[in-house]
Structure 1
Amino acid sequence: MDVTTKSFANSVRALRTAQKSNRGAPIYSRLVNRPVGRVFAALAHQVGLTPNQVTGVSAIFTFTAIVLVALVPPSPAAAATVALLLMIGYGLDAADGQLARLLGSGSPAGGWLDHVCDSAKTATIHLAVLVSMYRFADLPTDLLLLVPICYSIVDSVLFFGFILTDSLRRPSGPALAQAENARPSVLRSVLAAPTDYGILCLIFFAFAWPQVFLVPYGILMLGTAGYLLLALPRWYRDISRLGSPVPGTR
């Protein structure tokens, strides 16, 4: 067997336990994106990329797609290009953390960089949709422009709330796959589907037809808003049970 091929295969196997726990992960992230991220992480390991460099490559794919959404008139070719770029960027976003855990090189700076990029895309992807709808779409009413505005608000609050809650719950770092005591719930993953960025990436295949696109896009927005309204009280209760004070909080 070729040494490179063997090393790549070993990296993929090792990465199965270097990823975050699937507990609570939405369905696309669990079944598609994390396995794709393992392959990207193994490839990055082969060519000698660092986790931060993988984060940078992910950002290039993602923000190229976001710029195309805002500036290029919708068409089938543009929609397919945007969707594929977003999906590749998301796969690479899963790869940087897996690579860091595989190499034992995770750092606060790397986590900070990853979260800054994620927070930027969380807001700007919906603002790009807003710009595109305003410039190119023949909407029956301007009130539909409120959909990407509301989605940007909801998604930003969800992202910040989830990241902060997870950080306060597990200050030592994310739970890993090998630490799971029970099989993650498939039902829970399905119920979290509206919050799944991967599904948002997929619906951009319909972006060539703005009024068609707005149907699943609006459904995802409403589902995400509903999930957030249910999650916020539970997260607050969980954090309220923490015994010791956290520096910088009240």
Structure 2
Amino acid sequence: MGPTTSTTFADSVRALRAAQKSNRGAPIYSRLVNRPLGRLLAALAHQLGLTPNQVTGISAVFTFSGILLVAVVPPSPAMSAIIALLLMTGYGLDSADGQLARLLARGSPAGGWLDHVCDSAKTATIHLAVLVSLYRFAELPNDLILLVPLFYSIVDTVLFFSFILTDSLRRPSGPVLAEPTDSRPSVLRSVLVAPTDYGILCLIFLTLAWPAVFLTLYGVLMLGTAGYLFLGLPRWYRDVSRLGTSA
């Protein structure tokens, strides 16, 4: 159901701010940029009478258009900016669908399923698109560099799946993994987990036209994400081990 005739864009923004998910555990880009951007996009969607699933679909169009361009178009400064803009807009809309669902009290398992399917697809394909782009368009000093996006795809896919699965297993019996025990959002933690932030990955596509710069930033993010995964897996395993087994 769309907004009433008396509901303005500012009213929608205020209502969404009141329904905002906690920033606890959120990486720095998501916390400072993507969630506020998602709030504005969700308010716009609310004014247009869109459903959360429709917003998810629009997000997918932006995201996968950007990913396709990475793989098929030779990188240039202008194309790099277009790709980054498409990816960042898609990510903002990815935040907007959940915010809109909370505002409308219309969250559903089907909506969550659709959102996670789209997220899992982009998690894998964005790195495969980088692999194709490097192979087709970049002059690499060594072909072994092509292993970097392959390894990044594995790391990101395992991180996404293990985080979602562990959170799902814990949800009936405890807080979600993204929420530490302190009651206030930790800025330091947001900075430390920045390499895992998809928004930061979107931003570095601004440098895609300059392979040496892009690969340096991309490699740093890959190493940071891998480190986070390898440190997190034992902890998450201990968390689910304490849940016990069902009869």
Q: TM-score, normalised by structure 2?
A: 0.92
1:134 aligns with 2:135: yes
What residue in structure 1 maps to residue 89 of structure 2?
88
Name stretches of at least 5 consecutive residues in structure 1 with no aligned partner. none
CA distance in 1, matches of 2:161, 2:75: 30
The code of the aligned residue for 2:87 comes to L
Q: Give the residue type in structure 2 aligned to 1:217.
A: Y
Query: Hey, what does 1:195 align to over in structure 2?
Result: 196
Contact 1:34 1:91 (C-alpha < 8 Å) held by counterparts: yes
1:225 corresponds to: 226
Q: Could you tell me how far 1:12 is from its partner in structure 2?
A: 1.2
- 1:181 Cα shift? 7.1
Aligned match of 2:62: 61
CA contact (8 A) 1:168 1:239 kept: yes
The residue type equivalent to 1:193 in the other structure is: A
- In structure 2, C-alpha distance between the alignment counterparts of 1:53 and 1:46, rounded to whole Å: 14
Question: What does residue 31 of structure 1 align with?
Answer: 32
Match of 2:161?
160
Q: After superposition, give the CA deviation of every residue in 1:116-172 in whole Å (9 maximum; x if it has no partner).
A: 000000000000000000001000000100110000000000001111111122249
Alignment of 1:39-78 (within 5 A): 39-78=40-79
How far off its partner does 1:38 sit?
0.5
Query: Matches of 2:18 and 2:127 in 1, distance apart?
Result: 33
Residues 86-107 of structure 1 deviation map (CA, whole Å, 9 limit, x = unaligned)? 0000000000011011101100
User: What residue ranges of structure 2 are gaps of 5+ in the alignment?
Assistant: none
Q: Which residue of 2 aligns with 1:114?
A: 115
Contact 1:203 1:213 in 2 (8 A): yes
Kept in 2: contact 1:134–1:145 (CA 8 A): yes
**One-letter identity of the residue aligned with 1:95:** A
Aligned letter for 2:199? Answer: G
Contact kept? 1:40, 1:95, Cα under 8 Å = yes
Q: How many residues align?
A: 240
TM-score by length of 1: 0.91
Conserved 8 A contact 1:20-1:174: no
Q: How far apart, CA to CA, are the structure 1 residues paired with 2:165 and 2:21?
A: 16
Partners in 2 of 1:20 and 1:181 — Cα distance? 16
How much is the aligned-residue C-alpha RMSD, in angstroms?
2.0
Q: Which whole-Å CA distance do the structure 2 matches of 1:106 and 1:4 have between them?
A: 23
Check 1:45–1:145 CA distance in 2 against 1; reply closer, same or farther (3 A cut): same
1:16 counterpart = 2:17 = yes
**Contact 1:194 1:221 (C-alpha < 8 Å) held by counterparts:** yes
- CA–CA distance in structure 1, aligned partners of residues 46 and 69 of structure 2: 30
User: Which letter does structure 1 place at the counterpart of 2:69?
Assistant: L
Distance in 1 separating the partners of 2:34 and 2:174: 21
Structure 1 residues 233, 99: closer, same or farther in 2, change over 3 A?
A: same
- The sequence identity of aligned pairs, in percent, is 79
